[in-house]
Structure 1
Amino acid sequence: MNKIIMGLIMSLIIGFHSFAEPVKADETPIQIASEAAVLMDSQSGAILYGKNEDAKMYPASLTKIATAIYAIEKGNLDEQVNISEYATKIDGTKVYLNQGEQVTLKKLILGMMVNSGNDAALAIAIHLDGSLESYSKHVNEFLKKEVGVKNTHFTNPHGLFNENHYTTAEDLGRILNYAMKNKEFREIFGTKKIDWQGESWSTTLLSHHRILKGEIPYEGVTGGKTGFVDESKQTLATTADNGKVKLSAILLKSESKRKIYDDTIQLFDFGFANFKTSIIKKGEEFKTANKKFRANQAVFVTEPIVQAERKVSPEGMLTIKGKNGKAIQKLQLDEVANKRSEVKKTSRKPEQNGILPMNPVIGGGVFLMAAGFWVLNRKQKKGRRYRSR
């Protein structure tokens, strides 16, 4: 019975599953020195600022954001990873792993994210997929299927330069936003320092992100990752939260560290000053003309702090608009069918009980004729009584 009732309820709803469609927000007076940049609402995915956000770029160590969330979702953080000789011989920044050393997967992810250890990244990839080639195949499938990247192809887990290892600022923002939904990732991404006990050395690893560790003060920063190779220049990923909106900033190919942090602060200042995150509740209804629409699930939307406008098209597309009527975000709603009371039809013949069913007009005429005969009959009888006297 419950299944039947639920089926009837669902039959009143017409349309497809609700989805959020990010739209680039208003043009701003921001002056960003980095070659590519994007500022996004971490929860809704709305793009609040973009500069060459869909241009093909080399991400350097921001690649490790993808490696981290892939490892967290695919692996067991408590399992021991056996370090291969191949991983120990990689170039660049390391946590100085030894061949044959046993390290937990979580510790390797921390070493990769906090100290940007390339040896830790490579050890993770080999542990998860057996080889670098297999890792590349599987991580790209993961990013397309689970995250929805559009123009990303990774050949390695660490970000050392390869012409076929590329992404975009927008895709990196998508990857970061996806990762930030995971509690383990959020904790690791926000880690400023860790005590590292290894076979080669014992030390305290410090984050390379200058805002995250407090060298450049900025209130509300919740996580960060740096990157650099000659071909990529400086790259930076940062998240922040002021209690009204959670923001993700990606900056690519900056000529200097100072400029890339200045760019990040400009983006956060702009985002916090102008936007907030709201929730459209499951079942919330919107009307336009003679139609009614509703959201079939709770969804985050980004709205301007002032001059916010929600407008629904006749097709059920809800557009969140800001200053000058420019779109910030779009959401497809489901149409709710009109409830109309209908007379139930039956194939059963009516019971006659010896009386033939009549058309109302004919029935009325028969009644009047019968009444006339009755009156006439009464007059005739009365006349006979008078004559008999």
Structure 2
Amino acid sequence: MLAKIILLVTVLLEAMGLPVLAAPLGKTGYRLIRPTPSSADYPFSFNSLDLDSSQIPLRPQRKVIFKEPSFAAEGIIALDLPTSTILYQKNSDKVFSLASLTKIMTAIVVLDNYKLDEEIATPPEAVVVSGSKINLRPGEVLKVKDLLYGLLLYSGNDAAYTLASKLGEERFVAKMNQKAQDLGLETFYFVDPIGLDKDNRGSLKDVAFLASVALRYPLFAEIVRTNEYTIFSVDRRLQHPLKNTNRLLREYPGTFGVKTGYTEEAGHCLISAVEREHHRVLAVVVHHPHDQFTESKKLFDWIFTSYQWQ
């Protein structure tokens, strides 16, 4: 009976546009983690609250005959997106360095505070930043929407710094931390908008929650499922062909996002989302020694074999 009540509450909160994460409570139940942001924080459509039984999402049930495989990644969490049921977890409460997974919060702050057609000039410090870049030039002017593609598709650190420069890096990072507080994500702490600093950190439960929130932004969802895209400077003189760093989009059918990351401290990281037979699963794999993509495929294969939705 309790499970049914929790399921109905979850559905109603989802319908209101309020993200819900079902975290384990002992071995048999779930507790609901729900933030209390204002409705203005979520620029996406809401479903009707008039739900009949046919609209209630099916909750995945474990088939006991399939054993859990071993995984090399230090941290993993996988959840069913419609119901927020946790399907697998390994060190999901541990706080990890986030690497470029940080850019998910960067994108959310941009989507909350900028207009997509605003123009931003690339500052000199963005051009010389280390790590992955989309090769912006000093003074090059791009629209916010194109910079978001550079940020999320190719994980461009120069795109991240250019976006942050509109508010100033210190103020921008403050908004990242404030957004985490607004969402009730207490383990998050950000010190830069790109994830190079090892002190950008958060638990896997909070990372999964943040990714589920980000996927509710239509443009974010569109970008992270895009394989290739070309952005242009406002004057059309410069172009930047981009290829998504998430190999699962090309290698694993049903993938629709979301973000890669790597630093020495964080290891190889991947947040991925897959839909199969109308069931949508999100997974976070961090601190893998060499191949987060194969690990994620193995995880999804096991989940879709080991669970049935009923």
CA distance in 1, matches of 2:277, 2:190: 34
Q: Deviations over 1:86-140 (max 9, x none)?
A: 222211111122222211001001011111110100111121xx22221121111
Corresponding position: 1:266 with 2:275: no
Residue in 2 that maps onto 1:111 = 150
Secondary structure of 2:160's aligned partner: helix
Residue in 2 that maps onto 1:193 = 228
Corresponding position: 1:174 with 2:178: no
Q: Deviations over 1:203-231 (max 9, x none)?
A: 4211111111x1xx322111132111111
Which structure has the greater CA radius of gyration?
Answer: 1
Corresponding position: 1:79 with 2:111: no
Corresponding position: 1:305 with 2:309: yes
Question: Offset at 1:201?
Answer: 5.3
Q: Please tell me whether the aligned partners of residues 161 and 231 of structure 1 are also in contact (alpha carbons under 8 angstroms).
A: no
- Are the structure 2 counterparts of residues 161 and 21 from structure 1 closer, same or farther at C-alpha, using a change threshold of 3 Å? closer
Residue in 2 that maps onto 1:138 = 175
Give 2:241's match in structure 1, choosing from 175, 199, 204. 204
Residue in 1 that maps onto 2:280 = 246
Q: Please tell me whether the aligned partners of residues 134 and 240 of structure 2 are also in contact (alpha carbons under 8 angstroms).
A: no
Q: Deviations over 1:8-38 (max 9, x none)?
A: xxxxxxxx99765613387951211100010
- Are the structure 2 counterparts of residues 111 and 254 from structure 1 closer, same or farther at C-alpha, using a change threshold of 3 Å? same
Q: Please tell me whether the aligned partners of residues 101 and 259 of structure 2 are also in contact (alpha carbons under 8 angstroms).
A: yes
Give 2:271's match in structure 1, choosing from 229, 237, 242. 237
Count of aligned pairs:
254
Residue in 2 that maps onto 1:34 = 73
Aligned-partner residue type, residue 217 of structure 2: N
Secondary structure of 1:137's aligned partner: helix
Q: Please tell me whether the aligned partners of residues 237 and 251 of structure 1 are also in contact (alpha carbons under 8 angstroms).
A: yes
Corresponding position: 1:183 with 2:218: yes
- Are the structure 2 counterparts of residues 228 and 154 from structure 1 closer, same or farther at C-alpha, using a change threshold of 3 Å? same
CA distance in 1, matches of 2:21, 2:214: 19
Aligned-partner residue type, residue 297 of structure 2: I
State the superposition RMSD in angstroms.
2.3
CA distance in 2, matches of 1:220, 1:209: 13
Q: Please tell me whether the aligned partners of residues 191 and 197 of structure 2 are also in contact (alpha carbons under 8 angstroms).
A: no
CA distance in 1, matches of 2:238, 2:267: 30
Residue in 2 that maps onto 1:150 = 186
CA distance in 2, matches of 1:98, 1:203: 11
Question: Offset at 1:186?
Answer: 0.5
Report the TM-score when normalising by structure 2.
0.75
Unaligned runs of 5+ in 1: 1-15, 276-303, 307-389
Matches within 5 A, 1:337-376: none
Report the TM-score when normalising by structure 1.
0.61
Secondary structure of 1:208's aligned partner: coil
CA distance in 2, matches of 1:93, 1:231: 16
Unaligned runs of 5+ in 2: 1-8, 14-19, 28-61
Residue in 2 that maps onto 1:221 = 255
Residue in 2 that maps onto 1:23 = 23
Matches within 5 A, 1:46-125: 46-125=85-164
